[in-house]
Structure 1
Amino acid sequence: KKKKNKKQNPNQKKTIKNKKKKKKKKKKKKTKNIKKKKQKKKKKKKKKKKKKKKKKKKKKKKKKKKKKKKKKKKKKKKKKKKTKKKKKKITKKNKK
């Protein structure tokens, strides 16, 4: 504990001392709690009421109707008119 105090700030030492005092008080409280527990044991146990189980109703399964598939009509494609592209003349520079 002394080693820890050396590392901490002087202001923090005060808080550590306060914590020690609090711990002592807690010990006294524990003894009181033990006495209370003994008293509780002397009390008569209450009878538990039995719960009635509810019967579960079975759910009927619904039959699924099959959907008829619609046939898609094929669209006729329009033919595009081809346009002639003008060929570029290859110069000597481009060949290189």
Structure 2
Amino acid sequence: MVTHVQVTTITDDYGNTETVETPVDVPGCLLAPRASSERSDPHAPAVISGSQLYMPARSTPPVAADHFLIDGKRYEAEGEAGVWSGRGIEVAVKHIP
């Protein structure tokens, strides 16, 4: 199961800020290994440098402050999510120990 933890910052009337985390379960996701594109030897095997998360089209794209919980491990997005109109969302993620 993938949980998209949506993080928002709220400022009250007195200027105090509070960070609110809202976990949202996202069924139907796929986590795949992502290979590095920088190989010095074209005959050497690719090095796995992270993961690629594929989310269903009905999902909310992540923003920079968000993170994911996947099989009990925390992942953060690397860069901006790719939204495939009507098809789904592609997010490069890295495991955060």
Q: TM-score, normalised by structure 1?
A: 0.13
Greater relative contact order, per chain length (Cα 8 Å cut-off, separation 6+): 2
Q: TM-score, normalised by structure 2?
A: 0.13
Choose between structure 1 and 2: higher strand proportion. Answer: 2
> Radius of gyration: which is bigger?
1
